[in-house]
Each structure stands twice: as structure tokens, then as C-alpha cells.
Amino acid sequence: MSNKTTLKKQLKAKGIPFPKDGTVAELEHRLEYWLGGDGYMFRLAVPASRMKDESHPVRLLEYGNMYWVPNSKYAEMIALTKMVWIMGRSLDPPKGSVVLDVPKDFNDKWGIGVTDGSND
């Protein structure tokens, strides 16, 4: 069994969607950072410039756009700011929404432990 097939089985078991033609790196990224279930749809409620921390992910959002973020610690960070409206949840990004995937350097950039519950 190929590594790609194994990754797809692991993603499916966790309820994480995956592209049929996704690369091994894309599948590994989803397995590491995404949580199973529906992603979040956000709109800015207040100007992102009110966030004092200039490196916070909410600073990436702009007025007038609907954002879809996969169910993840990254999405939770944005939601917890209370600077966004949660417009709903969806497994797939709605048409016309801007997709914000979890950055590859998420754990390093925001000092968050890995998703297995450890703080390493």
C-alpha cells in the first residue's frame, strides 16, 4: 500500500476531506493541522487593525470577503478574537469564499503544540 493511500485512509477515518489528486505533502499537511468536521465561514465584524498583535491570523482578513477556514486550531484562534462573525460551518468552501488554509509554519509561528495534544 502506498504512502498516499495510507494518508487518505487516515484522513477519511478522522473525517477530513481530501482532494483526489492531492500530493503526499498536501495530505500530510491536512493530517497534521486539520481537525475532522466542518470548517468555519467568517466575515470581519470590526477592523482587523484593532488586533494589537500584528502577526495574528485575524489580520489577514479584509472587509467584504467571506473566508472559509478548515476546522483547526487556526480557525479557533480567529473565532476566539470575537472580531469576526461566524457565518456558519461547512465541510467544503462555499463558492466565492476565500480559503485560508492553516499555514505550514503554524506551530512555529504561534507557539501552539501539535494537534496530538502534546505541547512539544
Q: What is the pLDDT of residue 120?
A: 44
Q: Give me the amino acid identity at 73.
A: K
Q: Are residues 93 and 45 in the same domain?
A: yes
- Mean per-residue pLDDT for 69-84? 94
* pLDDT value of position 19: 86
Total structural domains within the chain: 2
Q: Which residue has the cell 457565518?
A: 87
Q: Say yes or no: 47 and 97 in one domain.
A: yes
pTM over 0.85: no
Q: Tell me how far apart the alpha carbons of residues 58 and 117 are, in angstroms, rounded to a whole number.
A: 24
Provide, rounded to the nearest whole percent, the portion of the chain with pLDDT above 90.
56
Residues 5 and 24 both lie in one domain: yes
| Domain limits for position 96 | 36-103
pLDDT, tens digit, 9 for 90 and up, residues 7-60: 999 999 999 988 888 899 999 999 999 998 999 999 999 988 888 888 889 998
User: What is the 8-class DSSP label of residue 21?
Assistant: T
16 vs 9: CA distance, rounded Å: 10
- Would you say residue 119 lies in a domain? no
